[in-house]
């Protein structure tokens, strides 16, 4: 199903964007001498959820790593 492949690809792209945003938040915190920020944790959890969604769309079984 081409449409589902497109959805899965878009989810993959969103997961990458979330990973980039999480890294940016972490870099900013380190530069400011802060601990791991809550924003980074939330973005990482969101990325994992999106990755699981992409796996489900592809017909696979997601492996919950949380």
Residue 10 lies in a domain: yes
Tell me which residue range forms the domain holding 50. Answer: 2-57
Give the pLDDT confidence score for residue 63 in this predicted structure: 65
Stretches in the chain below the pLDDT threshold 50: 66
Residue 40 lies in a domain: yes
Global pTM reads 0.84
Residue 32 DSSP label? T
Q: How far apart are CA 39 and CA 23, in angstroms?
A: 10
Give the pLDDT confidence score for residue 66 in this predicted structure: 45
Residue 16 lies in a domain: yes
Split into its structural domains, the chain has a count of 1
Nearest C-alpha neighbor of 25 from the set 38, 12, 11, 6: 38
Residue 62 lies in a domain: no
Per-residue tokens: 49: 């959820």
């Amino acid at each position: 199903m081409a449409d589902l492949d497109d959805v899965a690809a878009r989810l993959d792209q969103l997961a990458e964007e979330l990973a980039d945003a999480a890294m940016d938040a972490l870099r900013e915190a380190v530069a400011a001498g802060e601990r791991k920020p809550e924003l980074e944790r939330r973005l990482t959890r969101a990325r994992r959820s999106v990755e699981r969604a992409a796996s489900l769309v592809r017909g696979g079984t997601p492996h919950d790593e949380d």
